Structure 1
């Protein structure tokens, strides 16, 4: 019998595709070591994205493939993960230990952007990542409510100038809502709102984070441009509904991020379909296939399509988003898949050494 070699093991692993990277683990450079001792094989795989909910099942699949190689009597596959840091050129000191900044944006309000941001952050945390949420919607902050933080809660202050973010459900959260009264209208002009965002960015002690999810205000104004100028944003998610008018505004959001050279990771479509709880009738209340058409037009992927669900709304309003309230539900599983896919795409960019240059006309 011929002796086992590394090429045989790699060949078996190349037959499998990581569903988040859309690559086999060898081509994706996730296979870090292969040790062969007679007929026994040990493989070490390191993913570039948080994957606590995925790694065990993936290890079993990879192990099964290795065990099918002729001459292998015993195989062990160890899967771990480590989130790489994106280049963070010119970032304020408070963001120095933040590895990835993710902007969650929409062209218009009311499409579920904040709901997506909250569930994405919680899903990333459930995968084992260290996560923060910055509520950059200065005029209409909502993350405090979604994370169940009591009204009137104020962040601690360190050295009389730095805010300590509030921790909720394993996530660090900072919002303008923590600094103002709930009933106070932010009657500010654009530059004032942009200045408030800059203060939150530069005066919040985020510490060591794998991902900072930024819940952006709707539109393409001063706050969006301020973020792109002050922070190396690793990527942006565009949230929309299938409705034509929402898609029109979402297009503007994609164009804006491309203008400032921030990669668009993909599109999340909310309220895609309604399933009647009584009879099971399926109805596309806001139109059908809009998110998919938008993704195709701009050559990005439709990363998730979420149903129009009362549970999603009630759980967020109740201060416990779906990913936290019902983690084993089908909807929560979609958010988990979204979180891993977003992390995987960021890891590819980080390993490639991509450093976007900001150009604003």
Structure 2
């Protein structure tokens, strides 16, 4: 009798759902014959379309419009366990969920626990700030606030590193500019963008594209500004460089952290990010365990497209191992983050491990492509548009 191969996936965000969908679809025969099982662990019963946080924050989209029940996103053949994992033992191949003394064994493991805001790093930031990275409901608080602004100084930008969705702080500046321009009070509202980088965007090619837009729209930018503390009473931000900045409204992107159970483990770095091979995503010396998406220590952007492509690579390699093929697929480092520049235009941050980020001018066509991707997002988590991704990314879909 063939022993069942058990696949455990931790995290039901974009990466975990895409990976589980890939595995469930291609291993459907093995699942039916009870040769393979797939179990997805996550306490959350609801997922959110995180790029939509900007629309909620700066255009007033109803938060409920970007939420979906997890059970509507999980493919048949995937067992859903609504519990958070608190321990992973790679050497002995088991995981344990919170409040349980039961060890759940696995043959293959995929960690896709993402990243979340870490307000503890910056004193005063939590009390003073509103952000569009925590969840949809908190993002809506920004729109409630800007709806009542008639004048004043708004500070946006990067509060700390690392953070997910690299273009989003720049998008917030552009969307605020559009909002107050359409409202007819742009001349009464000062918008200031702060960043710890030496230029407006970390990639030089994109910075060259958007710097003129900042100047043309009178958005002030302050570079090499590493936020140290925030004084909510005085409404002041102090940087590590010793600069003090006043504000009336603060919408900074906070630094992010990894899942708590990963910190201090043998397979993570000192900050808790999982150490993986940047090509096939296996964890350190464990060929049967992988990590994808925001939770890895790969020095690339923390964004959904990476989680998607990494999930396809990992899923393909697990399938190949189960079926005994000698294929070894590799992630190219491809990123493709959209950056809306306001007024129905957008650019894209596109690059790989081997190709520097391209210089792409904002256009309405790019904006339309961004909107198309938003429309198919939920279906893409179930693998329904994989043919389109494969066509679009071509040789960057994966290497074999």
TM-score, L = length of structure 1: 0.30
Please state which structure has a larger fraction of its residues in strand. 2
The answer to which structure, 1 or 2, has the higher relative contact order (CA under 8 A, 6+ apart) is 1
